[in-house]
Amino acid sequence: MSIYIDCKRCNERNTIRTNATNRSDLERDKGEVIQIRCKKCSTSKEYHVNEFQAQLNRNLILIAGAVGFLLTLLFWRFGFVAVISFTLPAIVYQVQYSSVRSFNNYKIKEIVKAKD
């Protein structure tokens, strides 16, 4: 899962580096209002924690798919090939999907308003 904010000026999607899995973690990590400099238009703006969204990390799912494929090759002569290759990316997807959902569904109580 990755956390992103869409730039208020140019709409560019900026992902941020954090280990937070929900908005209150994100608040603890970066503060309630987070200053983001857009990678495209270089505008610095403050965004409230609740404005950030989570999305699936496609790279991770692709990697899981690749690993699943390699495992398939390795275990080709055993019978459970299809199980491994399909299960791994599916599990990664499932875990990511549920963390994305829980991040986006939970908002913190707003105390500070972000300035536009």
Minimal distance in Å, beta carbon 88 to Zn ion? Answer: 36
User: What one-character DSSP code corresponds to residue 110?
Assistant: P
What would the x/- binding string for Zn ion be over residues 8 to 37, using CB under 5 A? -xx-x-------------------------
Q: Is 41 in the site for Zn ion (CB under 5 A)?
A: yes
Rounded to the nearest 5 degrees, what angle is found at the Cα of 12, between the Cα atoms of 103 and 25? 25
**10 Å Cβ neighbour count for 1?**
18
Minimal distance in Å, beta carbon 37 to Zn ion? Answer: 9
Q: Write the CB contacts of 33 (distance below 8 Å, at least 6 apart in sequence).
A: 46, 47, 48, 49, 112, 114
Choice from 20, 26, 38, 92 touching Zn ion (CB under 5 A)? 38
CA-CA distance, 106 to 114, in Å (whole number)?
18
Q: Write the CB contacts of 63 (distance below 8 Å, at least 6 apart in sequence).
A: none
Minimal distance in Å, beta carbon 42 to Zn ion? Answer: 7
Minimal distance in Å, beta carbon 7 to Zn ion? Answer: 3
Nearer to Zn ion, 11 or 105 (CB): 11
Q: Is 7 in the site for Zn ion (CB under 5 A)?
A: yes
Give the interface with Zn ion as residue ranges (CB under 5 A).
7, 9-10, 12, 38, 40-41
